[in-house]
Amino acid sequence: MQVTMTVNGTDITEEIEPRVLLVHFIRDVLRLTGTHWGCDTSNCGTCVVLMDGQPVKSCTVLAMMADGHSITTVEGLATGAVLDPVQQGFMEEHGLQCGFCTPGMMLTARALLDHNPHPDDTEIRQAISGQICRCTGYATIVRSVKWAAEHPVLSNADTDTDSDADADSAHGATADEVRA
């Protein structure tokens, strides 16, 4: 069947089997491999992407269920060369080690900050509690999200170098980047 969705600001139409999981559609069809697959029971959250701004575990969504929706993956977090504050925060505060849980963690953090710009530690921990990290022990992830909260806006003048970027998607990637 045919599925159409917006991924990182770009419209995508593909022919797929109905049973294909969104995580495999993103990874294997779109070749956006920043989204990971860490379990088979919907516990680990390494596959989290944003669907219409809400974090979803893409291993637990059929690609066809994303038909007509807007998806943001880790590749769509930065705007051109300018990182989202969450990405910068994870680097500043050592919120990642092996990097496998990082994309999902950052997208959940982005959704949290969009709804609650100044979360406290407990709110951050609750927000990421659907996601497992085996390396960091979480404390530096909490610090990373706080760093992002304290540095909410990167200069607008620097952010958009590509006029094709979807104006509606604050964290949209350029068309070239979607299939990069």
Binding site for another protein (CB under 8 A): 17, 19-20, 24, 27-28, 31-41, 43-44, 46, 73-75, 77-78, 83, 87, 90-92, 94, 96-103, 106, 121, 124-126, 128-142, 147
Strand partners, 13: 4
Q: How far is the CB of 36 from another protein (least distance, A)?
A: 7
Would you say 68 or 161 has its CB closer to another protein? 161
Q: How far is the CB of 16 from another protein (least distance, A)?
A: 11
Q: How far is the CB of 173 from another protein (least distance, A)?
A: 10
Q: How far is the CB of 138 from another protein (least distance, A)?
A: 4
Would you say 31 or 118 has its CB closer to another protein? 31
Would you say 38 or 53 has its CB closer to another protein? 38
- Torsion angle of the four alpha carbons 162, 109, 45, 129, in this order, in degrees rounded to the nearest 10: 180
Handedness of CA 103, 109, 112, 116 (dihedral sign): negative
- Taking a C-beta distance cutoff of 8 angstroms, is the pair 151, 118 a contact? no
Would you say 68 or 72 has its CB closer to another protein? 72
- How many CB atoms are closer than 10 A to CB 115? 11
Q: How far is the CB of 91 from another protein (least distance, A)?
A: 4
Strand partners, 7: 10, 71
